[in-house]
Amino acid sequence: MLKLDLPAAERFAEGHPDAFWDGWTLIIFKQDKRGEYNRRGLRRNGQWGIASRVEPDVQGRYRFRA
């Protein structure tokens, strides 16, 4: 499990083409054709996938499994 503060999360997002921001929420997109029927499904760049939303905790840390 990764625990990142905001600057580290920003570096993570810059280094991963499938990570992007939605406000303060870090979105990690994984291309998967099953995303069309999944409740976490998202269409990005013409492809279906599943999005993991990572929100900061009360201490401002982003915790997720990489």
The DSSP call for residue 57 is -
56 SS3 class: coil
pLDDT of amino acid 66: 65
pLDDT of amino acid 65: 82
Q: What is the distance between the alpha carbons of residues 9 and 22, in angstroms, rounded to a whole number?
A: 13
Per-domain boundaries in the chain:
2-64
Q: Say whether pLDDT at 2 is over 90.
A: no
At 3, which helix (H) or strand (E)?
Answer: strand 2-4
**Edge to edge, what strands does the sheet with 47-54 contain?**
19-22, 25-31, 47-54, 41-44
pLDDT tens by residue, 18-64: 999 999 999 999 999 999 999 999 999 999 999 999 999 999 999 98
pTM here? 0.88
